[in-house]
Structure 1
Amino acid sequence: MAGICNLCGLPDELCICQEIAKEQQKAIISTVRRRYGKIVTIVEGIDDTAIDIGKLAKLLKGACASGGTVKGRTIELQGQHKKRVAKVLEQNGYQVEVR
């Protein structure tokens, strides 16, 4: 038997909570220079708990072919990947702001 979502009341297969959460979030993409001149791409602003930040990080790391990590609700990717990350996030329904 399928479970029922606590937020929208629909069965888990039909749950739309994550889609609604994506539309309401605004992802902010920026880069920072770290120690030894390494550049890190940072994705912030995805605060809704309905969105699985770990899955999103895995998707972005695969699309950029780079390593990265999740710290709190922030995704850090190794390297300069602003354009690629923005494109992947827009294709997945997020609003994007590049800084």
Structure 2
Amino acid sequence: MKKDNRAGVVYSTNPDFSYQSADQNAEAATLPHQQQQLRVQLDKKQRGGKQVTLITGFVGTDGNLQALAKLLKTKCGGGGSAKDGEILVQGDFREKILALLVQAGYKAKKIGG
């Protein structure tokens, strides 16, 4: 017997209902640079006192997120990671990253101090 992974759907009275898995809609199309609303901030929480520059608000595919993260990490000369629409760059590079994002055509602003 085959089981469907229909989490949260018990019964539908709609005769035209067709179930679409969340996995099918997981990756959104990447927005153009001008429509991205990126936020750049310094974060120290739960990182052992280390500072990281956090870029949030990216809407798009994981491949495009990884490409942007690689560009920023290369320009800043530091390590980091990218997942779930967030990019972490080790160190305090807020001003440099903000300038790079604006130069690349993104709408970005600095959040916090």
**TM superposition score category, shorter chain reference:** 0.7 to 0.9
Pair 1:50–1:68, CA change in 2 (3 A): closer
Gaps of 5+ in 1: 1-16
Identical amino acids, percent of aligned pairs: 32
Do 1:23 and 1:94's aligned partners in 2 also have CA atoms closer than 8 Å? yes
Do 2:62 and 2:83's aligned partners in 1 also have CA atoms closer than 8 Å? no
Gaps of 5+ in 2: 1-28
Where has structure 1 moved over 4 Å in runs of 4 or more? Answer: none
Number of positions where the alignment pairs a residue of Structure 1 with one of Structure 2: 82
TM-score (norm 1): 0.74
Higher strand share: 1
SS where residue 105 of structure 2 aligns? coil
* Pairing of 1:1-99 with structure 2 (within 5 A): 21-34=32-45, 35-49=47-61, 52-99=64-111
Higher helix share: 1
Query: What's the C-alpha RMSD, in Å, of the aligned pairs?
Result: 2.0
Q: Which has the larger radius of gyration?
A: 2
SS where residue 60 of structure 2 aligns? coil
